[in-house]
Structure 1
């Protein structure tokens, strides 16, 4: 569960950084576009996959924003619902990518996670 939340946080951090760099509006659409571009580069998505992943990312960001508003008063439920949404997102993303693309994407994500992990 912690790994899923870490990956969700990492994805949001990457998108936030890209968003801050672009200076664009904070919409789910803009953040989804930024994340999709990164994913397309890392996993070498074709045009059809790019469109599917972008729609998935828009839904994910919209759902996350909705959950944050609805469960702002209850952090435990918010964390649980965000984790469920993240797992559903991972399953749908996995269904869109071919195995080789998924391997490239996960390798890239794991290297980013390793870079952000605290040293022991």
Structure 2
């Protein structure tokens, strides 16, 4: 009986550690999305509604990048292609959210911004 109780306790601990890892990764993506959004908002002078939509877009893009990296880890060529497609889709969605003057500011400052971060 002691062995079963110990095994159940061990499984519960491992499950808790696994869930904590998942939450911290999500928090990391949230922090990166927030930082990227703040950078874009500062450079392109976004209004509050745009900030919310851009943050959602950034979070979706960062999540997709992480999923692509995990899915295509064994095929760097395909990974590069899929990342390029994701980046193109992101830029299309982002430019659709920006007004012409904001788009011009964003494009001028794009070299200083990075969506992927140092990770």
Q: 2: CA distance between counterparts of 1:49 and 1:81?
A: 27
Q: 1: CA distance between counterparts of 2:78 and 2:110?
A: 27
The reply to whether residue 84 of structure 1 matches residue 85 of structure 2 is yes
Q: 1: CA distance between counterparts of 2:110 and 2:57?
A: 18
Structure 1 match to 2:56: 55
What are structure 2's unaligned runs of at least 5 residues? 1-23, 114-119
Structure exhibiting the larger radius of gyration computed from Cα positions: 2
> What secondary structure, in the 3-state scheme, does the structure 1 residue paired with 2:46 have?
coil
TM-score by length of 1: 0.70
Q: 1:39-54 counterparts in 2 under 5 A?
A: 39-54=40-55
Q: 2: CA distance between counterparts of 1:58 and 1:108?
A: 20
TM-score by length of 2: 0.70
Instruction: Report the number of matched residues.
Output: 88
Q: 1: CA distance between counterparts of 2:107 and 2:30?
A: 24
Shift in Å, 1:108: 1.3
